[in-house]
Structure 1
Amino acid sequence: MDFRILGPVEARRDGDWIALSGSKVHTVLAAMLLAHGRVVSDSRLGALLWGWDPPVTASAQIYTYMSRLRKLLGDEVEIVRRQPGYVLRAPGARIDVVEFERLDRLGREALRERRFADAQALLTEALGWWRGPALSNVTEFLLEAELPQLEEARMLALENRIEADLALGMHEQVTAELTGLVAEHPVRERLRAQLMTALYRCGRQADALQTYYEGRKVLVDQLGVDPGEALGATYQAVLGGELGLRGAGAARGRSDVPTMLPAAEDGFVGRSAELSLLTARLAAGTNRPRRLLVTGMAGVGKTALAVRAAEESAGHFPDGQLFAELCDQDGTPKDAGEVLVRLLRALGEPGLDGGSPRATDRDELVRLYRARTSGKRLLVVLDDAVGDLQVAPLLPASPQAAVLITSRARLARVTGADTVALAPLDDDESLAVLAAAAGAERLRDDPDSADDLVAYCGGLPLALAVVGARLAARPSRPA
């Protein structure tokens, strides 16, 4: 059984079209398909069929439509009465919106992982399920309730497919399509930015700039707002000549991508729940800034956890991973300007030698850093922060970026939901850390001393690692 709603609502059995008569029957079927196996209440069905003014006989009419659908669809489909409404079950049926959503999800994952050819193929297949305007033969009430989100999903998939096309060097092939899309959707800034990119790569820099100026005027006239971050960053990139083609192969192995993460510690033990929480939060695709904090007392393992989480999440940040220590070894906080210079050098910013006036102008460094990070999928790890004032200039200007901070203090810029407070390790985890550093046999030979050492270290990974290293360096001495 095949069901289709991405176009006129249809049902087919073995390729043969099932005659469904009337917009009301199509509406009831579409509403239950869109519920994805959940109960659709009578009140919801009434609103989708008749709006705010359902007839007195609404329940009886809904019952009639359900009976008619059961007869038309046959035994392959169950339409079951479940208070307070109905649920449709169709095991093994193929539903176009479900296939679209599955392929769209896989395509977005491939795009995040910079597998551009896979992303293009998956998103093209996803968009192929659309046969025209969705839900074109249902009531106006269902159309108003469901069409906007379906159309938005289609537009996002289309924008993602075009992003993959551009990454694969297909700017000439998509320029005409983008021109039509921008004319149809003049306030969609991502489409306009993509058209600017395609025009620039076709050698039409003046047209790319004109596209920006037209978009800025439309946004001001229609919405009263200035161009957003993505469109503004594309404009600056056109002016700076930074939109040259990076092919798919070059993108996967680009030498200009900063990778500043220190080596993860060997023998990382424990913290599985905290590590899972951080990696899941870093992997979540979002257009809102992600700022995560790992806090706890000195020596509790904040840096080790942050580096491990950053290393495991690196694939979600194809534009690079930055790392900065915010305190000297004696605990003195570093000046934010000094840290910015180091990060900007890693991002490829020229002219920041020690004697350069730009290297000492704090405001200029902040401006350069925000320009360099705008629109990029970066992971920034800020280690041992002393407070919000030190962190503020180091936050990237991109909602696709994530910042992972370690600090002994709680930071006002990070919500409680995004704060991981580390407690000392328990005895078993402590013993595992000590064994990883000193050798398991060494501790098995003298278990009482091993227990004493674990107790002395108080569950602090740093203390356990130091003690383990000293044991390993003195193999002839007892624990």
Structure 2
Amino acid sequence: MGEELSRIRIGLLGPVEVWHAGASLRLGPPMQRVVLALLAVDAGRAVPVERLVAALWDGQPPDRAAGLVQSYVSRLRVVLRPAGLAVTHRPGGYVLDLEPGAVDLHAFRALAAGSGTAPLRAALDLWRGEPLAGLPDTGPVERLRSGWVDERIGVLEERLDRELLAGRHREALGPLVALAEEYPLRERPLALLLVALHRSGRRAEALARYDRARRLLADELGLDPGPALAELRARLLRDDPDLTPAATDPAGDGPPRMLPHNVPDLPGRAAEVARLVALADRTSSAVVIAAIDGPAGVGKTALAVRAAHALADRFPDGQIFCDLRGSAPVTDPGAALHAGAALHALLRSVGVPGHRIPADVDERAALWRTELAGQRVLVVLDDAADAAQVRPLVPGTPGSLVLVTSRRRLATLDGAVAVSLTGT
């Protein structure tokens, strides 16, 4: 029986279907397929008769509605019996005796929780059209359908966001145009599209699309774009170089390669570069932190980036760069990143999907340490405000090197090797 059940697949992300040994079963009329769909949504768990009645007749059930449900279930049992699939009656209702993973909805959700872009592509490939297609448009059915469509859009947005994070803006551009035009009031696909256009050398077009979206939001909802979208427009206007990251692994799901471009020459800093490179030898037994301090314009970032490029091959699990904006005025909209925001950016850089990132800062820090455990990663934390901003961002296990730059000497950052710069 277990082998038979392993060959069964139920599809809800499109017309409701059951496949057994490669063949599609004849499931009967739409009302009968509604019952199957509701049972498959909660595969392995009891579905109350009242919920089935509501989905079938939308609050206006006929006389003997429970008897009609029993009739539909009886016919489904006949249809499903050759596949070895049973519908049983328990005190809480009817149960479809099947592992949830055999239902495409649950497989979609499991894949969508994965890291990288490949699981998200696989999740989206499970969709065959409008979910629950061909079923009566009762309120409960429509609520399920619209909720799943929202889930799909969110996963598609996340996948395209990761494509941009991996440097594949040209590949993401077409799908982003289609998504933004299909859902013109959603701000996230528009923001991703603006970034993709900017990186494709089409900044004027990106600004024009922003203005069109602003007018649409005002006309349709009487609203202005949200602060994140407004800030993105400001960054586009000033041609913010941070909107164009360094190229990443073209394979797409490899380790992050986020270092800015290398400085071709760094006069007078050979000794400091050599000192930072030598620190990498200690990472086999501990996390090593180098805190580079000095006044504005002395070359702290250039030194850190130069050393990071020299060491890149020794940290095959990734090279990560995060601008902490510690020297920005507090009145600046882009003022210093608090630890929670920095952790969000770092977790995204190693492929953790947004919906998996907890809200609590301590939980984010724990997840960050978990993601880096057992890996050899080089992390550049540029322009730190103080040691408190940096502490939650430090990996917890040996193998990683952290290069921190700051205008202040971070004397209270435990274990950090100070590298102080003055004018050359």
Query: What TM-score, normalized by structure 1, do the two folds share?
Result: 0.53
**1:154 & 1:92 partners in 2: Cα distance?**
18
- Residues 207 and 372 of structure 1, relative CA distance in 2, 3 Å threshold: farther
User: In the alignment, which residue of structure 2 is the partner of 1:209?
Assistant: 207
**1:92 & 1:219 partners in 2: Cα distance?**
40
**SS of residue matched to 1:80:** strand
1:166 aligns with 2:173: no
- Residues 371 and 21 of structure 1, relative CA distance in 2, 3 Å threshold: farther
1:70 aligns with 2:70: no
- Residues 369 and 165 of structure 1, relative CA distance in 2, 3 Å threshold: same
Displacement after TM superposition at 1:369 (Å): 5.5
Q: 2:133 aligns with which of 124, 133, 136?
A: 136
Q: 1:15 aligns with which of 22, 29, 53?
A: 22
1:55 aligns with 2:19: no
**1:253 & 1:105 partners in 2: Cα distance?**
22
- Residues 104 and 213 of structure 1, relative CA distance in 2, 3 Å threshold: same
Displacement after TM superposition at 1:126 (Å): 0.6
**SS of residue matched to 2:332:** helix
1:26 aligns with 2:30: no
- Residues 92 and 190 of structure 1, relative CA distance in 2, 3 Å threshold: closer
Displacement after TM superposition at 1:216 (Å): 1.4
Q: List aligned pairs for 1:430-445, cutoff 5 A.
A: none
**1:95 & 1:401 partners in 2: Cα distance?**
30
User: In the alignment, which residue of structure 2 is the partner of 1:344?
Assistant: 326
User: In the alignment, which residue of structure 2 is the partner of 1:105?
Assistant: 113
**SS of residue matched to 2:96:** strand
**1:60 & 1:51 partners in 2: Cα distance?**
17
Displacement after TM superposition at 1:78 (Å): 2.1
User: In the alignment, which residue of structure 1 is the partner of 2:45?
Assistant: 38
- Residues 69 and 93 of structure 1, relative CA distance in 2, 3 Å threshold: farther
**SS of residue matched to 1:367:** coil
Larger RCO of the pair (alpha carbons < 8 Å, separation 6+): 2
**1:53 & 1:39 partners in 2: Cα distance?**
23
Question: Alpha-carbon deviations, 1:425-466, whole Å to 9, x = none?
Answer: xxxxxxxxxxxxxxxxxxxxxxxxxxxxxxxxxxxxxxxxxx
Question: Alpha-carbon deviations, 1:144-166, whole Å to 9, x = none?
Answer: 22012101110011001111221
Displacement after TM superposition at 1:173 (Å): 2.3
Q: 2:120 aligns with which of 99, 118, 123?
A: 123
**SS of residue matched to 1:378:** helix
**1:131 & 1:216 partners in 2: Cα distance?**
33
**1:319 & 1:36 partners in 2: Cα distance?**
44
Q: List aligned pairs for 1:314-329, cutoff 5 A.
A: 320=322
Displacement after TM superposition at 1:321 (Å): 9.4
**SS of residue matched to 2:10:** strand
Question: Alpha-carbon deviations, 1:291-333, whole Å to 9, x = none?
Answer: xxxxxxxxxxxxxxxxxxxxxxxx9xx77597xxxxxxxxxxx
- Residues 400 and 233 of structure 1, relative CA distance in 2, 3 Å threshold: farther
Question: Alpha-carbon deviations, 1:224-270, whole Å to 9, x = none?
Answer: 222113322321221222211333359935457xxxxxxxxx9xxxx
**1:372 & 1:234 partners in 2: Cα distance?**
17
Q: 2:89 aligns with which of 81, 85, 98?
A: 81
**SS of residue matched to 1:368:** coil
User: In the alignment, which residue of structure 2 is the partner of 1:197?
Assistant: 195
Gap runs ≥5 in structure 1: 111-118, 257-265, 267-314, 323-342, 350-364, 381-398, 405-479
When Rg is computed on C-alpha atoms for both structures, the one with the higher figure is 1
**SS of residue matched to 1:126:** helix
Q: In terms of mean alpha carbon deviation, does 1-10 or 236-245 score higher?
A: 236-245
Question: Alpha-carbon deviations, 1:342-394, whole Å to 9, x = none?
Answer: x623xxx4xxxxxxxxxxxxxxx2232645649x94149xxxxxxxxxxxxxx
Displacement after TM superposition at 1:12 (Å): 1.1
Q: 2:150 aligns with which of 143, 149, 152?
A: 152
**2:38 & 2:66 partners in 1: Cα distance?**
16
RMSD: 3.1
Kept after mapping to 2: 8 A contact 1:319/1:377: no
Displacement after TM superposition at 1:133 (Å): 0.7
Displacement after TM superposition at 1:42 (Å): 1.1
**1:187 & 1:136 partners in 2: Cα distance?**
25
Query: What TM-score, normalized by structure 2, do the two folds share?
Result: 0.60
**1:372 & 1:7 partners in 2: Cα distance?**
46
- Residues 200 and 155 of structure 1, relative CA distance in 2, 3 Å threshold: same
- Residues 321 and 379 of structure 1, relative CA distance in 2, 3 Å threshold: farther
- Residues 189 and 225 of structure 1, relative CA distance in 2, 3 Å threshold: same
Kept after mapping to 2: 8 A contact 1:179/1:195: yes
**2:122 & 2:44 partners in 1: Cα distance?**
24
**2:74 & 2:44 partners in 1: Cα distance?**
18
